[in-house]
Amino acid sequence: MKKIAVLTSGGDAPGMNPAIRAVVRRGIYKGLSVFGVQQGYDGLMRGDFVPMDLGSVGDIIHRGGTVLRSARSEEFRTPEGQNKALACMKEAGIDGLVVIGGDGSFRGAGKLTEQGFPTVGIPGTIDNDIAGTDYTIGFDTAVNTVVDAIDKIRDTASSHERTYIIEVMGRDAGDIALWSGLCVGAESIIIPEAPVDMDDVVQRLEQGNKRGKKHSIIVVAEGVSSGAEVARMIQERTGLETRVTVLGHLQRGGSPSAYDRMMASQMGAKAVDLLVEGQKGVMVGLKGGQLVHAPFVDAARDKHTLDMSMYHLARSLSI
């Protein structure tokens, strides 16, 4: 292994930059030449490789987004697209690839491994929805962003005695909703992993009202329903004045938290070590506080699970 490349793919996440930095610096430390690929798999199919030296990743550890930029690439899903990428890497003499992204990006990386090309993945998505790891880079920052936003919304909710419905990201996973909902003391948290029971949501609101509570916060994961729909149902059934906030893409931005920088640095260095050891088709993960690695196929086959005890805790504390 002499030359490696690194790319970021799929939805960006705070912490991707410190992960790129760790891959580049660890690679150079291990005597490798490191190249950055612009715009994920799109750039890989164009052979858009930029040599990365120590200075190229200076001053990015605190920056959100990804300096390499990211993409969702339809063409790369096809065998022709994958062959193009393999040909470009061969021509440039690249003999290992680090992919920073979500489970979709790992399915793509798995296709390159099937063709014999060494790839290693680093989980980077705010959703925290990848099987085989307890943590994905960006999640902590995103949860803190949501908590900060809801704390502000609570101020106005309380001034105007309104019920606020906050819609947060997480296509198929309720992690962001659950963590942020617990941390802001939301009255109800609506996530894909638990059956939605509007009777229960209404009953909790009415119970709170009876004991003098004048404002409420309900957090809903986008994968279950829209905030607008939940607000419509609540207003219809309770007559309470509701407002909706869709936090949207602001959850993906911002300076990575200390925890995300720590995870990114550890996982980035570990990915390079795995490539150097001759591993291929694996993803770095965190399990029980330890850095581990697991085959992409396991991450693709298994389903990410949520700690439901946290859901029950949140319910029991917001009575």
**Active-site residue set:** 127
The verdict on 250 binding ligand F6P (CB under 6 A) reads: no
The verdict on 254 binding ligand F6P (CB under 6 A) reads: no
The mark string for 32-61 relative to ligand ADP (x by CB under 6 A, - otherwise) is: ---------x--------------------
Query: Among residues 18 and 170, whose Cβ is nearest to ligand F6P?
Result: 170
Q: What is the rounded CA–CA span in Å between residue 254 and residue 149?
A: 13
- Residue 135 interaction partner, one of ligand ADP, ligand F6P, none, beta carbon < 5-8 Å per kind: none
The verdict on 169 binding ligand F6P (CB under 6 A) reads: yes
In the complex, least distance from residue 181 CB atom to ligand ADP, rounded to whole angstroms: 23
Give me the count of residues in the chain: 319
- Interacting stretch for ligand F6P, rule CB under 6 A, among 39-47, 164-172, 260-268, 309-317? 164-172
Name the phi and psi angles at 190, rounded to 5: -110, 115
The verdict on 15 binding ligand F6P (CB under 6 A) reads: no
In the list 73, 113, 125, 141, the residue contacting ligand F6P (rule: CB under 6 A) is 125
Query: Among residues 126 and 217, whose Cβ is nearest to ligand F6P?
Result: 126
The answer to whether residues 103 and 172 touch, using CB atoms and an 8 Å cutoff, is no
The verdict on 72 binding ligand ADP (CB under 6 A) reads: yes
Q: What angle do CA 247, 253, 254 make, to 5 degrees?
A: 115
The verdict on 77 binding ligand ADP (CB under 6 A) reads: yes
In the list 17, 38, 119, 125, the residue contacting ligand ADP (rule: CB under 6 A) is 125
In the list 22, 36, 103, 224, the residue contacting ligand ADP (rule: CB under 6 A) is 103
- Residue 117 interaction partner, one of ligand ADP, ligand F6P, none, beta carbon < 5-8 Å per kind: none
In the complex, least distance from residue 93 CB atom to ligand ADP, rounded to whole angstroms: 24
- Interacting stretch for ligand ADP, rule CB under 6 A, among 14-22, 107-115, 154-162, 176-184? 107-115
In the list 108, 138, 254, 285, the residue contacting ligand ADP (rule: CB under 6 A) is 108
Residues forming contacts to ligand ADP in the complex (CB under 6 A) are 9-11, 41, 72-73, 76-77, 101-105, 107-108, 111, 125
Residues forming contacts to ligand F6P in the complex (CB under 6 A) are 11, 125-127, 169-171, 252
